A and B are shown apart, each in its own frame.
Chain A
Amino acid sequence: MVFGVLIGAAEMLSPGSYTNVEYTWLHLAPAPGPFPNGLSLVAGTLVDPISALMLLVVTIVGFAVMLYSIEYMHHDSGLPRYYSELSLFLAAMSGLVISDNLLEFFIFWELVGVCSYFLIGFYYDKPSAASAAKEAFIVTRVGDVMFLLGIFIYFYHYALAGPIGSGGWAANGFVFTRGSQPFLASSVRGSSTLLTVAGIMILGGAAGKSAQFPLHVWLPDAMEGPTTVSALIHAATMVAAGVYLLAVASLFLGFTSFDLLLIVAIGGFTAFFAATMAVVHPDIKRVIAYSTISQLGYMVLAIGAGFAMLGLFHLFTHAFFKALLFLAAGSVIHAIGTQDLFKMGGLRKTMRLTAAAFAIGGLALAGIPPFAGFWSKDDILAAVYSDLGSHPAYWPFFLLAYAAVFLTAYYIFRAWFLAFSGEKPRDPTLPEAHEAPWVMRIPMIILSALAVGGGLLIFWPSFDSLLLYGNGVGGIPPVYGSTEIVLSSVSVLLAGGGILLAWRLWGNGRVFVLAETAAAQSLRRLLLNRYYFKVGYDWIGLNGVYTVARAADFFDRYVIDGTVHGFERTFALLSDRLRRIQSGFVSDYASYVVAGLILVFVLLLLIAPYLVSAWGGI
């Protein structure tokens, strides 16, 4: 843990990249064929500005969550399993960020996936937890498969003329180049359709891990795991991996322009789409979960628009305030044992620190200056705006992302007002709330500090140099001119409006009842049911694939095996008949012989002329 922070800090002080290739996995020596320069798959480590940034996130958030777990989890059984899985999770994520090649990246990527499968299903005796774990694994698997195809395409495309000087990618493993330019940008060779497909595949992989539309369904259900695990998944590990992949791909491989548009579209749309679902949900953890999907959308949007480092910066700040929100929510759940917002109320009186922490997290999420989220989110919006001139197709997604700012502020403060404001809990049967013990408070304090100050780090030159990534490959952050200030003011006003609306509707113990019109109610149902995506996927799984499987099983048993048994019966019948011929009487056999002879003669007489004419004499 400390080690990771040290590496991150060291990188900050002396930018550059350190690589250390250690182990060759598979090696084919040079030989004629598809790999004239040989084929090597290797595993090694590489630390550069983006991995340093990620290491900081993983280790700090990981440390906070571990500390928090000591108290939060202490009455659960299976703690050895919990801590070993959590450690493996963090180890896999750290391995992922310091991988020096695409294959190793994929290996750790899958390990991150399986660890989140273990942890989401930590309460495995709950059917819903087991189901959520399965869902998370299968949905992300769809993305993984696409990612794998993307790797193949890149690999073969650059097998011989790869980014590395001698021999290409095949000879050197899938090693990332750390040049000043994305590789693709400097040398688009061969079919760019192929590279577009590869980019889409990488996007698919990232969308699976980072829960982007349309592979977003697993993340809200992943709430079945312990709250600490949610904090980790949402802030530092699982979902961060997808964004990190996109950043790495855009920095070292580059995307074609169609890919970029698609990434912007997915990011912008998801930012808005997920925010709408958070607006109505009654479960405190799920509201935060949707906010994660939405915030990830911003990061994806930034990377698509060519500002990968800004996307990662938002990932950095988001990790702290999102972990904070989860830990605060965990503290509430720990105290009163429910996740239903409509049962809570008035908790600020008994849980002062938690209420403050949640508010800080909420302000950071909503993007109110000077909290962390403001700096990163506004940088993204300003950067995308500066790009609109050359890419007018980004306009609708930019507007969606802007609209999401309002929704974000609204839904997170709706949650805050419901839980913490008012006089007393709405459900009187709830136990008396109490503030969390110190072991849980310390992580919240640490993260609160970072949620307040994390964004201000950009004014520290050492940190800023990380974000510039050498020559500014990842997109140079916009300079604050008058346009940017206007944009920021608008977004702060939007956020403020959202908070105000939340206060008007839910503040002070108020309960807002939606109009009973059909349209309003059906919209609410649509949102509560998450646009029926999950239902649809389940339907495909059960009624589509499973039915096909049943039918295939039927075919296997009755048609294929039926044919086999048909043969068997035919032969049995035939042999039975033939057995009867062998009566044992000489006279019978004599008559068979005579009959056979006659048959042969007749055949010969009939056929012989043809044979003679055909062969010209026997």
Chain B
Amino acid sequence: MALPLISIVLATLLAGTVATFLSGRYARWVALAMSIVFVAEVAVLFLAYPGWPGYSASMIPGFAEGESYSWIDLSWMHINYTVGVDGISLIFVLLTAILQIATVVYSWAEDRRPAAYFGLVLLTCLGCFGVFVALDVLLFFLFWEAVLVPMFFLIGYWGGPDRRYAALKFFVYTHVASIVMLVGLLALVFYSGASSFDFSSIYAAARGLGPVTQTFLFLALFFGFGVKFPIVPFHTWLPDAHVEAPTGGSVLLAGLLLKLGGYGLIRWAVEVLPSGLHTTQPILFFVAFLSIIWGSVLSLSQRDLKRLVAYSSINHMGIVLLAIALDSSLGLLAAVLLMFAHGIVSGLLFMTAGSVHHTYGTRDIASLGGITPRTPALSTMIMVGSLASLGLPALISFPAEFTALLATWNGLAYWVFIPLGILVVTAAFYMWMMQRVLFGPPKGIPLDAAEVPWYEGVGMGLLVILTVVFGVLPSLLVNVIVSSPVKGFPGT
């Protein structure tokens, strides 16, 4: 391997973040430039991706673009800087790059401390990228925590009227979960007797763990990652955080931060602790069904556009959890695909909610109505986002939901009625929202309301285009995902 590609990406992201923080009123230009560089680097990463390298000698999954340097080397503990990607992480890396550039463009006119704002946005994305490529427990945890801090400040400084409460709630919830997760990961290392903190050695050592140990470890990790999902009943931080966060923060929160939980669960729990997953399956199913039902039903009663999308996120991430818990190759494929889809679509929906707020001064569904004649483009994007989110074919979520439900039928037979039936409720709340907000006689529209500014349009337009492209050609994503060392996937 010629170049340490991942380290180069990390280094440029770090340099970009620092440069953005320092660049004062030119911050947005620097951030945009760095985002373009990031997209280009991800493209290189994709082109250089040789396909999954397969299993190494001792049936340990290998990773492409792997790098490993000794970091903290004690006689009883070896901590390395180890990074690498497989198909699953690549998908999330792609999502990170897309959402970063979309967020930067969308927030173009941010004028309250722009340097800090764009710097924090970039820092969040840096942390997410790190989480997706880290293959060492300590490195993983460092990046994991590195995401929380900038998001805390984004909500706490640029947020709405109740931002302090929301930021604190977000931080406490996710931090408590992080600690449980860290304890789980450390226990995994020490109980399994792994020779180092590296993923591969943990993976190999964990095979020797008994089912009971695996179950307890799995539960700890599940709680740690699950709060990020978020799973019911540990979900109430999410609507508050979304409602108060600035639009860019909401996009990153829904698009990336929720995915950290799903990615972590797949990478560090499902792959490593198969017996643990097996014994906890009923719990996971229960929680997943609860989240699916709860998220969808609550969306129906929301009055705030952002809260509505937030609860629908709980519903979608419930389907993701269900797909993961199925413990089948099709389920994992569906989970990754659905997380990508949800990242794009919820990002789009939060942007539209933000634009509605900027244009009409409120996000309250009941006090809006008939906005279509005034802002046809915005209405179209709301419609595309909603239809995508409710699973319309030819838009990105459909292939993901379809495979998830197919896998559910395969694994759980008639239980599939729960997520299927809830699809009707999901359709109902989006349709009802559109009926009230977009259609009917105009209501609550200020006289100076005009079409959204170009930068918001470009940010949303990018996501709309991707929604359609990946909806029509899902094989672009699928072929990457299936080249991963996840069981049942044949690799390349």
Contacts and interface: CB of A to CB of B under 8 A. Distances in A.
Partners in one complex: yes
Interface string A93-107: 000000000010011
Contact of B297 (A32, A125, A549): A549
Interface residues of B, number: 55
B438 interface: yes
A153 B409 contact: yes
B302 A553 contact: yes
A474 to B, nearest CB: 28
A25 B475 contact: yes
A571 to B, nearest CB: 11
Interface stretch (B50-58, B123-131, B184-192, B424-432): B424-432
B141 interface: no
A134 B425 CA distance: 12
A32 to B, nearest CB: 7
A170 to B, nearest CB: 10
Nearest to A109: B393
A134 B433 CA distance: 10
A137 interface: yes
A127 B394 contact: no
A167 interface: no
B439 A130 contact: yes
B387 interface: yes
B294 A552 contact: yes
A33 B370 contact: no
Given A25-B399, A149-B420, A33 B435 contact: no
B330 A39 contact: yes
B328 A33 contact: yes
B424 A142 contact: yes
A556 interface: yes
B236 A26 contact: no
Interface in A13-33: 24-33
A138 interface: yes
A124 interface: yes
A156 B441 CA distance: 48
Interface stretch (A59-67, A178-186, A369-377, A540-548): A540-548
Given A30-B490, A110-B393, A152-B409, A121 B298 contact: no
Contacts of B416: 149, 152
A553 B298 contact: yes
Interface string B347-374: 0000000000000000000000010110
Contact of B489 (A28, A138, A548): A28
A28 B421 CA distance: 28
A26 B475 contact: yes
A244 to B, nearest CB: 17
Contacts of B438: 124, 130
A561 interface: yes
Given A31-B488, A31-B490, A149-B409, A26 B478 contact: yes
Given A30-B490, A141-B427, A560-B233, A24 B393 contact: no
Contacts of B370: 124-125
A114 B431 contact: no
Nearest to A26: B478
B301 A134 contact: no
A556 B440 contact: no
Interface residues of A, number: 53
Given A28-B330, A152-B405, A152-B406, A561 B236 contact: yes
A114 B392 contact: yes
Contact of B387 (A33, A114, A124, A153): A114
A35 B489 CA distance: 11
Nearest to B419: A145
> Is chain A's interface secondary structure helix, strand, loop, or mixed overall?
helix
Give the residue among A39, A108, A155 with the most B Cβ atoms within 10 A.
Answer: A39
Interface in B376-415: 387, 392-394, 398-399, 402-403, 405-406, 409-410
Contact of B410 (A34, A114, A545, A549): A34
Contacts of A142: 424
B298 A556 contact: yes
Interface string B430-456: 011011001111100000000000000
Contacts of A28: 329-330, 333, 482, 489-490
Interface string B187-220: 0000000000000000000000000000000000
Nearest to B337: A26
B298 A549 contact: yes
B417 interface: yes
A598 interface: no
Nearest to B488: A33
Interface in A108-136: 108, 110-111, 114, 121, 124-127, 129-131, 133-134
A26 B300 contact: no
B160 interface: no
B474 interface: yes
Nearest to A28: B482
A528 interface: no
A564 interface: yes
Given A124-B372, A125-B373, A110 B424 contact: no
Give the residue among A24, A28, A153 with the most B Cβ atoms within 10 A.
Answer: A28
A50 B373 CA distance: 42
A148 interface: yes
A27 to B, nearest CB: 7
Contact of B398 (A107, A124, A152, A561): A107
B423 interface: yes
Given A26-B475, A29-B490, A549-B297, A125 B420 contact: no
Contacts of B417: 149
Nearest to B482: A28
Given A125-B441, A133-B435, A145-B423, 8 more contacts: A26-B474, A30-B490, A33-B488, A124-B370, A130-B440, A149-B417, A152-B416, A549-B300
19 contacts: A26-B403, A27-B482, A28-B490, A35-B330, A110-B393, A125-B373, A127-B441, A133-B439, A134-B432, A134-B434, A137-B427, A148-B402, A148-B405, A148-B420, A152-B409, A155-B406, A545-B425, A552-B301, A553-B302
Interchain residue pairs A-B with the least CB separation, the first 7 = A130-B439, A549-B301, A107-B393, A549-B300, A152-B409, A124-B439, A29-B490
